[in-house]
Structure 1
C-alpha cells in the first residue's frame, strides 16, 4: 500500500502527467454534465415518469448504459460516441477489401489523416440516420406524451441537436487522446458505463436486502469474472525470434533472442461490438416501422437479451467475428516479411513462407480458446439474469461493458506506467505485470 501511495505522489510531482490527468478529468466532467441536458421540446418530468413506469429492461436499457443514461433521458448526447465507433468499424472493414482504403493505410501520416477525416464524415451521416429513428421512437412510442412541441419541428431539431452532440463528444474524445491520458473515445464510453455501476449495485442490495449474503456472493463472482477477463486480456504466446549477428566496423549487432508476442485475445473487445451492432440492426429497423406488426415482433425478439435463442446466436456471432477481426488485423505474412528484412528467424523454421505459415497456425490455434472465452463472456449477463441478478447489475458480469472497463483501465494504466518509467520513476504498480514494463 505504501508503494501505491508513493506512485500516486510521483504522478502528482510530474507536471506534464498531472496536467494531462486533470485535463482528461475536466473534459469527462463536461461530458457527464451534457448527458443531463434534455432535448428541446421534451418535458423532462413527464419523460422521467414514463420511464419509471416502463422500467429499464430490454435493449434500450442496454443501450442507455453506453451513453451514461442520456438515451432514456432524451439528452443531447443520447447517441453518445457509438456512431463514431460504427463509422470506424466500417472504415476498418473497408480497409481490408477496398483498394482505395488499402492505399490510404499504406500512405503513413497523410493516409491516416484522410482516414480520420472520412471517419468523421461517416459519423455525421450515421448519427443523422440514427437520430431520425430515435426521434420517431420518442414521438410515436410510449414516450410520445412527453413531446410538447409540433412533431415535425421536434424531428428537425432532434436530428440537428443529436448530430451536433455526437460531433461534440467525438471532439472531446480526440482532445483527450491528443492532450490527455488514455484513449479518449474509449474513456468516454467507460465513464458512461461506470456511471451505472453505483445505482445498479444499490438496486441489487435493495432487492436482496433481506439476504445480504446473496449480494456478497454476486459481488464475489463478479470480481472473479473480472480477474479472469484481465488474465485472458493480458495472456499471450511468445514465439522466440533469433536475430543473426552482424559486424559493422568494430561493433557487432544482433545475435540476441527476442520474442514475438501473439495475444490470446488479439481482437480485443471489437468482436463483441461487431456482434452487438449486428444484433441491434433488427430493433433499429423496427423503430422506423412502428405500425408494422411483423417488424415489431422481430424487433421484440432481438430485444430479449436474456433469452436462450438470443444468447446462442450472440455467442456464435462473437466467435465468428473474433476469427474475422483477428484475420484482418494480424497479418502473418507481413510479420514474416518484416522479420526477414531485419535478419530475424524462428529457430527451426525457414524464413519467408514457412515462417508465415507457422505464425498463422499458432494464431489459429490460440484464437480458438480466446474466441470461445470471449463468446462466453459476451453471454454471461444472460446467465446472471437467469440466476436472479437484476439486468442493470448483470451487465457488469460480462459482455461489452466488462471488457471495455477492463481493457480501457489497463490501457490507461499502461500509459501512466510509461510516463513514470520514462522519467526514471518506479512503475505505477511495482509488483504488477503491466504490458509495456521494460525494467
Structure 2
C-alpha cells in the first residue's frame, strides 16, 4: 500500500496508472451496451443456474450478464493464445519464431494470435446466440440479424483484445487479467448488497463457510505469489589500473509461482471449450452432436472428475507458462557475460542445468499449491453441497492474484527508478 501511494508521486508511473484506469473505464462503458431484444430477467436466471455461462460471464468481465457487445470478453483471445503456445511445442517453425526471432518474432507471433481470435470469436458468437435463443433470452433471429450480431460481438471481442494489449504496454499488470479483474470488481457492490439484503439466520452456515474459504484462498494466493528461492550470485573481481571492480554478492530471486494467475485462466478456458463446442453442436441435432453432448455431460457433470481435471490443468499450465516466460539459457549467458556465477556451479551449461532443476523443484510446489487453492471451492461444493462458492471462490482467486501482480509491477518500477537514481 505504501508503494501504491508512492507511485502517485512519480509523474511517469502516475500517468501509466491513469491510462490503465481510463481504458478500464472505457471497457466498462462498452460492456454496458446491450444487444437489442434481450429478456434480462430470463438471462439473469440462466446465469445463476448454468455454471458454464457463469464462468463465461467471469471471462467477459461481466459483459455477458447484460448480453453486451462485449459478451465474449477476452475468451477467444485466450483460446487463440493457448493454441499458439501449444504450437511452439509441435511446430519447429513456430518455436523458432517465438524463441529465436527476438522482438520481431514475438510481434509476428502475437499478430497471428490476433488473426486467429477472429474466427474463434465468430464461432463462439454463433454458438452463444443460438444457445441464448433456445433458452428464450433472445427472440427468433433472421439469417441477416444473426450475421449482424455475430459481426458486432466479434468486433467487440477484438476491441477488447486491443484494449488489453494497450493496458499491457503500460507495464502495470497483464491487460487480459486486468480486464477480468475489473469486471469482477465492478460487480462487488451489487454482490455485497445482495448478501446484506438476502441475509437470514438459515444462511448463517453458508456465510461462515464462505468467509473461511475466502481467508484460506487469500492466504494461499499470497503465500504462493510472494514465495521465492534466492540463488546467491557472486561477481568475479576485475582489476583495471589501480582499481578493483566486482567481487560483490547478490542473489537471483526465483518465484515459487512465476506464472501468476495465468494457469487458472488458461485451465478454465480449456475446460469451457468442449462444453462450448457441445452447446454449438446442439443446434444441429445430429447423432454426432448428441454423442458429443453425452460425453461432455458425463465428464463435466461429474464434480469429482471435473475437479481432478481442473487441478491437473492448473498444474500443467503452471509448468507450461513458466517454461515459456523463464529462460535459464539466457540468464546463464547474461551472468557469464557480466562475470557473475553461482557459488559451486561452473558458468555456462552447468549453470543452465542448475537453474532448470531448481526451477523445476520449486515450480512443482507452487503448481500443486496453486492447484489445491484453485479447486477449494469445488471441494467445498463436493463435501457440503453448497454450489454458491464455485464462481465466488474462483473470482476471489483471480482478484487477489491480479492485485498482487499489480503491486509487484508498481514496486518493480519504483525499484528501477531508485537504482537509476531518478528519484521521486
Match of 2:297 among 293, 296, 300: 300
For 1:405, the equivalent position in structure 2 comes to: 399
Deviates more, 1:372-381 or 1:263-272: 263-272
Alignment pair present for 1:191 and 2:209: no
For 1:121, the equivalent position in structure 2 comes to: 115
Q: Tell me the number of residue pairs that the alignment of Structure 1 and Structure 2 aligns.
A: 414
> Aligned with 1:162: secondary structure?
helix
Q: CA 1:212 to 1:76, structure 2 compared with 1: closer, same or farther past 3 Å?
A: same
Q: TM-score, normalised by structure 2?
A: 0.85
1:34, 1:49 → 2: CA distance?
22
For 1:283, the equivalent position in structure 2 comes to: 275
Q: Is the 8 A contact 1:91 1:119 kept in 2?
A: yes
Match of 1:162 among 153, 177, 188: 153
Match of 2:308 among 298, 306, 312: 312
For 1:344, the equivalent position in structure 2 comes to: 340
> Aligned with 1:55: secondary structure?
helix
Q: Is the 8 A contact 2:225 2:260 kept in 1?
A: yes
Alignment pair present for 1:21 and 2:13: no
1:334, 1:54 → 2: CA distance?
47
For 1:135, the equivalent position in structure 2 comes to: 129
> Aligned with 2:201: secondary structure?
coil
For 2:26, the equivalent position in structure 1 comes to: 30
Task: Show CA shifts across 1:335-371 (max 9, x none).
Answer: 3333333322221223333333322222222222212
Q: Is the 8 A contact 1:286 1:298 kept in 2?
A: no
> Aligned with 1:255: secondary structure?
coil
For 2:163, the equivalent position in structure 1 comes to: 172
Q: CA 1:179 to 1:321, structure 2 compared with 1: closer, same or farther past 3 Å?
A: closer
Q: Is the 8 A contact 1:67 1:193 kept in 2?
A: no
Q: CA 1:149 to 1:225, structure 2 compared with 1: closer, same or farther past 3 Å?
A: closer
> How big is the shift at 1:206?
5.1
> How big is the shift at 1:303?
4.4
Task: Show CA shifts across 1:69-93 (max 9, x none).
Answer: 3224321101111222222233333
1:390, 1:79 → 2: CA distance?
28
For 2:64, the equivalent position in structure 1 comes to: 71
Alignment pair present for 1:254 and 2:238: no
> How big is the shift at 1:155?
2.2
> How big is the shift at 1:403?
4.1
> How big is the shift at 1:311?
0.7
Q: RMSD across aligned C-alpha pairs, in angstroms? A: 3.2
Q: Mind listing any 5+ residue stretches in structure 1 that lack a counterpart? A: 425-437
2:73, 2:227 → 1: CA distance?
31
Q: CA 1:416 to 1:389, structure 2 compared with 1: closer, same or farther past 3 Å?
A: farther
> Aligned with 1:384: secondary structure?
helix
2:250, 2:413 → 1: CA distance?
24
Task: Show CA shifts across 1:364-405 (max 9, x none).
Answer: 2222221211211221121233465864554343x4x34432
Match of 1:108 among 85, 102, 105: 102
Q: Mind listing any 5+ residue stretches in structure 2 that lack a counterpart? A: none
Q: TM-score, normalised by structure 1?
A: 0.83
> Aligned with 2:64: secondary structure?
coil
Q: Is the 8 A contact 2:225 2:404 kept in 1?
A: no
Q: CA 1:19 to 1:275, structure 2 compared with 1: closer, same or farther past 3 Å?
A: closer
